[in-house]
Amino acid sequence: MSPPALLPLPAEYATRAAARQDEVDPIDALAIAFAPIEGVVAALPDAPIGGPPTAVQTWFDAAAAAAKVDNDGSLAAAHDSARAYRSRAKADNTRAAYRSAVRAWCAWCTQHQVSPLPASSRDLAAFLAAGRDQGLAGNTLKLRVAAVRFLHRAANLPSPTDTAEISETMPASAAMPPTRKRSARRR
């Protein structure tokens, strides 16, 4: 028996995802797209370093979904299995929160025409300041920092969150009142 083919994203995967697009949540569609196909070990494509924010968001959603693959004994399957276990080390709710935060980061990057991966500390600090100016809570900003850190670690890149610019922006933004308050929710 010959070893399975290793393909970054076979055409059959794209067809699967497109066929289910109307029926399933987009995140679930990615998991379906990366579900094992007999005879093919699907490696998660390399991170779109320097790519457009939409590509980074799509890649991260797939990386965070991390469906467990059948390990057929090949090195590629073992790598995919290890990646899935790493991703599953975070709770489902944490991964969902990270996906939401990375979507916000990528949307901001699109608006300001900057690269989300790798991110610069300066751009990340501006993103956090903009969130604070919109009235986001300190815990939401901390979550966004953690999500961007996780995004960079998933891509095997150094994190832009481990700088003085970020560590000093966070407490300063929490100490200052937001410039624009969010509307209060009615109970």
- Domain residues of the chain, as ranges? 5-88, 92-175
- What's the pTM value of the predicted model, to 2 decimals? 0.66
- pLDDT value for 174: 55
Q: What is the CATH number of domain 92-175?
A: 1.10.150.130
Rounded CA separation 128/138 (Å)? 10
Tokens of 163: 């700088």
Distance, in Å, from the CA atom of 44 to the CA atom of 93, rounded to the nearest integer, reads: 22
> How high is the pLDDT of residue 6?
34
Q: What is the pLDDT of residue 2?
A: 38
Name the nearest CA neighbour of 104 among 86, 133, 130: 130
CA-based end-to-end distance of the chain = 63
Q: What is the mean pLDDT of each run of 10 residues along the chain (187 residues)?
A: 37 45 46 42 71 91 74 82 75 89 96 95 95 92 95 91 87 57 52
pLDDT at 140 (0 to 100)? 94
Is the bond leading into 118 cis (omega within 30 degrees of zero)?
Answer: yes
Beta bridge partners of 42: 7
The reported pLDDT for the residue numbered 12 is 44
DSSP the chain: -PPPEEESS-HHHHHHHHHHTTTS-HHHHHHHHTS-BTTEEEPPPPP-TT--HHHHHHHHHHHHH-PPPP--S-HHHHHHHHHHHHHHTS-HHHHHHHHHHHHHHHHHHHHHT--SSSPPHHHHHHHHHHHHHTT--HHHHHHHHHHHHHHHHHTT---TTSSHHHHHHHHHHHHSPPSSPPPPPP-
Provide the pLDDT for residue 187: 47
Q: Which pLDDT value is given to residue 63?
A: 79
